[in-house]
């Protein structure tokens, strides 16, 4: 699949994800079995999660001043093996917000395969780094998530 059609296909498959990050598959990410090692997917999820936080426009949240994110749980469903050379697009979205946490979902699109290769979830807990305990999701972060997710929903519906 050439670059332009691959990008269009990825955008369509990941339309529910307001943040999308394109990354190369690097030779060193493969393991002895000749495919991308499982731990790499979690690194891709982390990169997409941090890009999501940056898009929120709440620098004090990323800077843990004083409340910031801490990953409490992560999972991945591997759907297809990936290998070098390839380019992946990783999508990130917030699926659910609770009092002190929110659940994110991720998807990894393979340009070579032309389909979703993995899907994941992560639970992010808000943590007060001064008090060393959980904290409520800051209202500014809640509002920023709502804005970001509603733009993605509007784009998907159009």
- Evaluate whether residue 142 is within a structural domain: yes
Reported pTM: 0.92
**Domain housing 41:** 3-153
* pLDDT 10s digits, 25-84: 999 999 999 999 999 999 999 999 999 999 999 888 888 889 999 999 999 999 999 999
Report the CATH number that the domain containing residue 21 is assigned in CATH: 3.10.129.10
Please state, in angstroms and rounded to a whole number, the distance separating the CA atoms of residues 69 and 126. 5
- Evaluate whether residue 75 is within a structural domain: yes
Q: How many domains is the chain built from? A: 1
- Evaluate whether residue 158 is within a structural domain: no
* pLDDT 10s digits, 4-33: 677 788 888 899 999 999 999 999 999 999
* pLDDT 10s digits, 96-154: 999 999 999 999 999 999 999 999 999 999 999 999 999 999 999 999 999 999 987 77
DSSP 80-109: S---SS-EEEEEEEEEEE-SSEEEEEEEEE
- Angle, helices 139-157 vs 38-56, to 10°: value is 100
């Amino acid at each position: 699949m050439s670059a332009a059609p691959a990008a269009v296909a990825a955008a369509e498959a990941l339309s529910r994800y307001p943040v999308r990050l394109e990354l190369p598959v690097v030779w060193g990410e493969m393991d002895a079995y000749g495919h991308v090692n499982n731990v790499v997917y979690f690194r891709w999820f982390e990169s997409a999660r941090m890009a999501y936080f940056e898009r929120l426009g709440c620098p004090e949240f990323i800077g843990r001043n004083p409340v910031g994110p801490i990953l409490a749980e992560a999972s991945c469903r591997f759907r297809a093996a990936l290998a070098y050379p390839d380019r992946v697009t990783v999508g990130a979205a917030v699926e659910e917000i609770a009092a002190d946490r929110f659940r994110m979902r991720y998807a990894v699109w393979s340009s070579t395969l032309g389909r979703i290769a993995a899907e994941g979830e992560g639970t992010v807990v808000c943590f007060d780094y001064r008090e060393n305990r959980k904290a409520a999701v800051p209202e500014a972060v809640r509002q920023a998530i709502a804005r970001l997710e509603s733009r993605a929903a509007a784009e998907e519906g159009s």
